[in-house]
Amino acid sequence: MGLFDKNVFNSQSQVQDSLSPAEAVAAITLAAIASDGYMSEEETRSVSAILSRMKLFQSYTSDVIVGMFDKLLNLLRQEGIDAFFNTAQASLPDNLKESAFALATDMVLADGVVTRDEQDFLNDLYHSLGIASDIANQIVQVMLIKNRG
């Protein structure tokens, strides 16, 4: 079937908000670190640091990023990961899908431990975003190499 098998994104989104492209990328990255059922403050700071280096977020001040994270974390808590993800996916432009998958993969692999839930999330993510399996596998391989050291 895919990278790790299983599909967790079948539920309909209850979230009424649409997200900006930048918020959608950040939301997918946050969903990736929350996919194992735990999100530490350190993981959230890591996401913030990674995003701040992207061209997409160059014009964002630290206050704007903090406000965006507060909004996204509140949505995640209120709506749950599936509805949160569905909103992010619907708001994500095609040209950012591979980038969002790469960021999510990087965050999942960063701690050196990949749980079954995280594997399932990444598998579902590449399917849901419509990323070709060869591209998804290349991204996973590059992120495995990146996170070895």
pLDDT tens-digit series, residues 27-47: 999 999 888 888 888 888 888
Tell me whether residue 31 is in a domain: yes
- Residue 10 covered by a domain: no
In this predicted structure, the answer to whether residue 3 has a pLDDT above a threshold of 80 is: no
pLDDT at 143 over 70: yes
Q: Name the H helices within 1-132.
A: 21-34, 41-52, 62-91, 97-109, 116-129
What pLDDT score does 52 carry?
A: 86
Decide: 20 and 51 in contact? Cβ < 8 Å: no
Total domains in the fold of the chain: 1
Assign residue 84 the CATH number of its domain.
Answer: 1.10.3680
Among the listed residues 79, 82, 131, 103, the one whose alpha carbon sits nearest the alpha carbon of residue 25: 103
User: Alpha-carbon distance 118 to 115, whole Å?
Assistant: 5
Interatomic CA distance for residues 120 and 81, integer angstroms? 13
Q: What is the pLDDT of residues 72-97, one digit of tens each?
A: 999 999 998 889 999 999 999 999 99
In a domain, 122, yes or no: yes
Is the whole model's pTM more than 0.75, yes or no?
Answer: yes
Residue bearing tokens 């990087």: 106
